Amino acid sequence: MRAVSRRQEARARRFARPLLVHDFGAEAAGEVERRVAGEYVTVAGAVPVLRSPMSRMTLRLAVDALVLDRALPDELPRAGKLELISRFVSRWMDGQFDTAVSRWGYARRGPHLLFRRFWFSTANILDEPDGWRFRFRRGEPGLFYGVDVTRCGIVRFLVDQGPPELAPLLCQGDFRITRYLPTGVAFERTQVIAEGAPFCGFRYREAR
């Protein structure tokens, strides 16, 4: 199994290309894309091979963002690179809902809850050191469900590969996908590991 598939690379380029063309023009964007291809080769050996479907999918975002960050023009200020990465994360997250089936399943309470519990429990059962661990919470008044992330593979990967400051940007994708939640469910995030907390706290509450 390849840690970075050709399909992953193609999707990341599709999400990044409009941003690169807008910011740098077609010719310079093409040069960044060539550098992206080279960075995937460089990074591939450091990407852990994970078995958990949730861990594999989520780590792709960290890999794609890291590769793009390394490939951006050296003369672009750091703040400019991080701003572009932030826009890339938004497009990447939207891309996970680019089919009618994914939007339908995530927006309906029964399939949503079933799918999420499968993802969390599978990651916990496999308990991969470079992956994720979760505490699933239900039963509180007004709570659809809650999740505490007690181990984050994105933070581990970016601390190891650098730069760790990318991790909080990737966490902003949590808010991007709120538009796809079931009707009447509101997302609340109390803290994240990427910003120094001991765990990430996510709550999906019944909207009042």
Distance CA 177, CA 161 (A): 26
Domain encompassing residue 182: 106-206
CA angle 102, 116, 98 (to 5 degrees): 15
Residue 1: the pLDDT is 55
DSSP code at position 182: P
Residue 88 lies in a domain: yes
Distance CA 149, CA 75 (A): 37
Whether residue 110 is found in the same domain as residue 70: no
**Structural domain count, the chain:** 2
pLDDT in tens, 68-87: 999 999 999 999 999 999 99
Whether residue 31 is found in the same domain as residue 88: yes
Give CA separation, 37 vs 55, 73, 75, 129, 156, in Å. Answer: 23, 14, 20, 28, 23
Whether residue 122 is found in the same domain as residue 39: no
pLDDT in tens, 132-187: 999 999 988 999 999 999 999 999 999 999 898 999 999 999 999 999 999 999 99
Helix, strand, or coil (residue 131): coil
Which of 55, 70, 95 is the C-terminal boundary of a domain? 95
Residue 207: the pLDDT is 82
Residue 101 lies in a domain: no
